[in-house]
Structure 1
Amino acid sequence: MFSSSITIFTDQYNQYHIVTDAVERIVKESGIKNGVVTVQTKHTTTGVTVNESLECLESDIDEFLKRLVPEDYPYAHARMLKDYGSTAGNPTGHIKALLTGDHCHFPIIDGNIVRGGAQEIYFCEFDGPSERMLIVYIQEG
């Protein structure tokens, strides 16, 4: 087992970062030739998803999530949380993260991630700006 991390500094409330190249560098660094790589976010208001890298598609996904999870809905989570000592102002981030998921897996064969030609790994920010971390686990197979 090999693990590493990727730190991302987001600068927008909702933002999409392609992390494929960073994950591929970590796989090469691991020296593992055959196995599985898992990319997982450590935050409950962020997501990890796989899709094609097109600006128009990113915009469509962002608009779809905004329609599906509107900011002005009266969410139960948007209230004072005694445990935190503050108001929870991020219910949409939690719900969008639920929809995108928090991880992805890819096989590694001969030291390379096996993915489709249009597949990119995205880190999705839904409660930024913030400093975020992805964990990359590589299991030898």
Structure 2
Amino acid sequence: MWFQQEIHFPEVARGFHLITDDIARALPCLDDCHIGMLHLQLMHTSASLTLNENTDPDVRHDLDAFLRRLVPEDLPYFRHTLEGPDDMPAHVAASLLGTQLTLAVRDGRLALGTWQGIWLGEHRNQAGPRRLLATLNGCEAR
């Protein structure tokens, strides 16, 4: 079976947002997949996807704080500044973390570890809605 769907996320604040349940709700076809792979591709260059801690929100805060210090807005050698001082740092953060994830599907669910969740990293101060392309390939439940 093959299935592809675009998932829309409303504008969110800068930082990391746990979106695992949003993705599962948007893809009821996961229930029919016995074994497969789900590929997620964020359709933007100033946001990211990553897999990390799903319980303690302090982890999301701390990673955002680390990235803001690693790639601050006031670096004098950035040339791409027409879209604001947060734009080029957002592109750097997105490149470091990536905009795609491929996850295993087992028995109708994402095969995640106990403490794993999917994060949307919003790296702009005022971005806008985000789009995620989800492509599922697998065998239907027996």
Which band: TM-score by shorter chain?
Answer: 0.7 to 0.9
TM-score in terms of structure 2 length:
0.84
1:136 matched residue in structure 2? 134
Contact 1:28 1:112 in 2 (8 A): no
Provide the rounded CA distance (Å) in 2 between the counterparts of 1:106 and 1:27. Answer: 14
2:44 matched residue in structure 1? 43
Contact 1:41 1:47 in 2 (8 A): yes
Provide the rounded CA distance (Å) in 2 between the counterparts of 1:25 and 1:11. Answer: 19
How far is the alpha carbon of 1:6 from its aligned partner?
1.8
Query: Which residue identity lines up with residue 130 of structure 1 in the other structure?
Result: G
Structure 1, unaligned stretches of length 5 or more?
79-86
1:84 matched residue in structure 2? none
How far is the alpha carbon of 1:68 from its aligned partner?
0.5
Report percent identity of matched pairs: 29
Contact 1:27 1:138 in 2 (8 A): no
TM-score in terms of structure 1 length:
0.85
Provide the rounded CA distance (Å) in 2 between the counterparts of 1:140 and 1:71. Answer: 43
**3-12 or 26-35: which moved more?**
26-35
The Cα offsets for residues 84-139 of structure 1, whole Å up to 9 and x where unpaired, read as xxx23210110010111101111112212111010000111112330111111101
Aligned counterparts, 1:42-121, within 5 A: 42-53=43-54, 54-74=56-76, 75-78=78-81, 87-89=82-84, 90-121=87-118
Contact 1:36 1:140 in 2 (8 A): yes
- The alignment's C-alpha RMSD in Å is 1.6
| 1:2 partnered with 2:15 | no
